[in-house]
Amino acid sequence: MKAIYTQNLTKKYKKKTAIDNVSLSIEEGEIYGFIGPNGAGKSTTIKLLMNFIYPDEGTAEIFGLDSVRDAKKIREMTGYVSSDVRFYPQMNTYQLLETVCDFHQIKNMKKTIDYYIEKFDIDPKKKSAELSLGNKKKIAIVAALLIKPRLLILDEPTNGLDPLMQHRLFEEIEQKNKEGMTIFLSSHDLNEIQQHANSAAFIRQGKIITVQDIQSERSLGKIVQLSGSHLDPRIFKIPGIQLLKQEDNSARLLVNLSKQQLIALISDKSIEDFSVTVPNLEDQFMSLYEGGNQDDSL
């Protein structure tokens, strides 16, 4: 069954298009990445899925249920962590988590709450108003996990988390995924998507640029940084090579070559030094979508 299925989903704010004909097809049981720079339309898409706002055109379904007509049923089976987390300021952490359980009529949850408090190093007595962004994000993540959702939607979940907590978060959601939970991971961090997702859709300026099968190709090409006082310009015309940036005596390339071809490339006599890394977000978008100004307001 499709966990998420959208057709030509479009949303406009006044005369500005936030997302334009977004079509997604996500199988149940996937960890699916949704990646793009800030303002690309990621949060708008999620708000449409959750029926927080209405589409101007197109449709969205979660587990075959219409996001508008069946919003109540969808929310009963979906956990959601917003990029911007806010709570009742005078409630402490434990009260917040107990309230989530009471609201969803989940009984005997003390053991589970205690498990998450320990795992994510949460102070149960601290009031919401005293929490840092990272600690608020941890509470939101735990609140979403407590209801054992069929679908977990995470919008920039690692924002504010230190590296140890990021590791524990992905450790937990990968375990939940093995148990059958579908994870929709929205992020501007390409490395997060490459490490944890099965597939990913790339969005920029409200449009889907491409969909990548990350399982079959864990690395989306290689970045080769070359330096040399007189780099041979013929290097940049080799099939499988895209020049991303050139300055004075250096060049940055996106390379899709075999190991033998890569060795032959860096053996060129005009190359004095080189490095090979995986592409970052900027590299990937430069290769997929040249030019254009990005509006970060959506």
Q: What is the pLDDT of residue 272?
A: 94
Same domain, 261 and 199: no
The pLDDT value given to residue 212? 81
Query: Residue 38 sits in a domain of what CATH number?
Result: 3.40.50.300
Helix segments in the chain, DSSP class H: 42-49, 71-76, 93-103, 110-119, 133-146, 163-178, 190-196, 259-266, 281-288
In this predicted structure, what is the pLDDT of residue 293? 40
User: Are residues 29 and 148 both part of a single domain?
Assistant: yes
On whether residue 290 sits in a domain, the answer given is no
Q: Are residues 51 and 198 in the same domain?
A: yes
One domain, residues 258 and 118: no
Asked if residue 269 and residue 123 are part of one domain, the reply reads: no
Residues 147 and 227 in one domain: no
Confidence at residue 295, expressed as pLDDT on a 0 to 100 scale: 40
Q: Which two tokens stand for residue 199?
A: 């597939």
Range of the domain at 246: 222-277
Q: What would the pLDDT profile of 179-198 be if each residue is shown by its tens digit?
A: 999 999 999 887 788 889 98
Domain identity same for 188 and 84 = yes
- The low-confidence residues of the chain, meaning pLDDT below 50, are 291-298
Domains in the chain, number:
2
User: Do both 143 and 239 map to the same domain?
Assistant: no
- Residue 60 phi/psi, 5° resolution? -140, 140
